Amino acid sequence: MGTELVHIGFDNFLTVNRIIAIASPNSSSIKRTMQEGKNKGLLIDATHGRRTKAVIFTDSGHIFVAALAPETIAGRLQASRGGSGLEPEQSDEKDEP
């Protein structure tokens, strides 16, 4: 049995079964958690100098920051798990006949 990996940008990969949450870095509580992780040496920057768009929490307590949007990473996780779990957002646009 092999280990499934998900690409989080710039040739960086995470083990799929270790990810517990993916969040946007915009809230003050996420920013505070990122700073605490940095102080403890648990923050891993995978942005390659780009703007942080996603914060990924793992079961080991490590916090990864990535330059890809959370939706992009979640879509890749969904694809690696066979399309189960996450549902895409519904559009307000109506199909025209």
Taking 70 as the pLDDT cut, the residues of the chain under it are 1, 83-97
Q: Give dist(CA 46, CA 65) in Å, integer.
A: 6
Which pLDDT value is given to residue 1?
Answer: 61
Helix residue ranges, H only, the chain = 28-40, 70-80
Residue 2 domain flag: no
Which pLDDT value is given to residue 14?
Answer: 97
Which pLDDT value is given to residue 97?
Answer: 43
Residue 94 domain flag: no
Residue 3 domain flag: no
Helix (H) or strand (E) holding 8: strand 5-9
Quote the number of domains for the chain. 1
Summarised one tens digit per residue, pLDDT across range 82-97 is: 765 545 444 444 444 4
Residue 66 domain flag: yes
Q: DSSP assignment, residue 3?
A: P
Domain extent for 65: 18-80
Residue 24 domain flag: yes
Give Dmax over CA atoms of the chain in angstroms: 57
Strand order in the sheet with 43-46: 19-23, 54-58, 63-66, 43-46
Residue 5 domain flag: no
Reduced DSSP (H G I as helix, E B as strand, rest coil) percent helix, strand, coil of the chain, to 5: 30, 30, 45
